[in-house]
A and B are shown apart, each in its own frame.
Chain A
Amino acid sequence: MPQARLGEITRLFFRVGTTVFGGGNPGIAVLQREFDRREWLSQERFALSFGLARLTPGTNFLAFCAATGWYLRGIGGALIAVLGTTIPASVLVVWLTLAGEQGNRYPLTRSIIGALLAAGVGTMLGAAVLLVRSQCSRSKWVRPLIIAVGAFVLARAAGLSPLSVIGIAAAAGFFWTES
């Protein structure tokens, strides 16, 4: 496999960080296509990066970038992959936040921002639905549904902190494995 140069890795991850919208999954899809096209990463390494990223706390996509960057050029590659993906997007998100805050002073922008906030709530609920659906199949849906609804009830009705709910879910996952 040809070894990727740091400059090439920087350009690729910078491009993904500035042009790919819609969260981590589209970003992973773009990277997979590029790794395949450039023959930078074997399928086995890609699969291991993808699988372990799901087990890593935080944003899965960034863990995936760190893993693939590490495979490409060691710790330097991992750093460049994560920085290249996040720095331009972070600058943009700060600017968008500023625009959102200042926009509240004007009726037109207030109307637009109000609609954007509503869309934000809808997308959060949609993301919750997608997370549950990703863990369900035709024959195995009871356990995922019970855990998700249980977490909702523990947080909403019982008032448990998110950390406690996650701890309980982890224990449930450990002791209640699917047959």
Chain B
Amino acid sequence: MNVVIVYLLLLKATLTSFSGLASLPMVRNDFVLRYHALTDRQLNTAVAAGRVGPGPLGIYVVSVGYLVDGIPGAIAGWLAMITPAFLIIPMIRFLGSRAEHPRAKAVTRAVLLAGAGLLASASAPLARDAITGPLSFTVVVASLIFISLTRIDSLWIMLGAALAGLIAFQL
């Protein structure tokens, strides 16, 4: 896939989302369903790689770019991730206090909530690929509980999952 197309598709996803993983449904729609440039398993690998390392959650798009087109794709993913961030500078200069307008806040909140619904929707096909037995099912449920009910750093959850995989292999 052409690296410019990779950049534009990832940019479309990042420009239309308002939190790190909220771009995932659009990424899946374009790269998995429309262009078949990725499998659900590869997309899941990208999400896991983004969660294990430091940095923002949206960094998984770098991994997506890499899986689609190697190092040039990773650079395209990185550019697509950072480009929207600079929109805040004109916003600070020209919007300022208007951002506190109730209607502007209501629209942002609604988009954020739609992102949550889309995230849950996108995780369904990924779950079909990831849940292969009782262990993986337990890991899904445990990580869901730890993420939503505790303040444990997600790095520890990933390390715990890796340890569970290691123990399962030894058994």
Q: A residues engaging B (CB < 8 A)? A: 17-24, 26-27, 48-49, 51-67, 70, 75, 78, 82-83, 85-90, 92-94, 96-98, 100-101, 107-108, 111-135, 144, 147-156, 161-163, 165-166, 168-170, 172-174, 176-178
- Minimum CB–CB distance for B96 against chain A, Å: 7
Main secondary structure of the interface of B (DSSP, over half): helix
B46 in contact with A97 (CB, 8 Å):
yes
B161 in contact with A21 (CB, 8 Å):
no
Chain B contact residue count (CB 8 A cutoff): 111
A96 in contact with B49 (CB, 8 Å):
yes
User: With the chains together, A20 CA to B168 CA distance in Å?
Assistant: 29
The answer, among A118, A134, A149, for a CB contact under 8 Å with B143, is: A118
User: With the chains together, A27 CA to B55 CA distance in Å?
Assistant: 8
User: With the chains together, A48 CA to B131 CA distance in Å?
Assistant: 42
Q: B residues engaging A (CB < 8 A)? A: 12, 14-26, 29, 41-42, 44-60, 62-63, 66-67, 71, 74, 77-78, 81-89, 91-92, 95-96, 99-100, 102-104, 106-124, 126-127, 129-132, 135-137, 139-148, 153-155, 157-158, 160-162, 164-166, 168-169
Instruction: Give the residues in chain B near A90, CB-CB below 8 Å.
Output: 55, 59, 62, 74, 77-78, 81
User: With the chains together, A26 CA to B22 CA distance in Å?
Assistant: 18
Given A52-B92, A86-B81, are A124 and B126 also a contact pair (CB < 8 Å)? yes
A54 in contact with B161 (CB, 8 Å):
no
Main secondary structure of the interface of A (DSSP, over half): helix
- Minimum CB–CB distance for B148 against chain A, Å: 4
B45 in contact with A124 (CB, 8 Å):
no
B147 in contact with A115 (CB, 8 Å):
no
The answer, among A17, A107, A119, for a CB contact under 8 Å with B158, is: A119
Which of B63, B110, B112, B121 lies at the interface centre, i.e. has the most chain A CB atoms within 10 A of its CB? B110
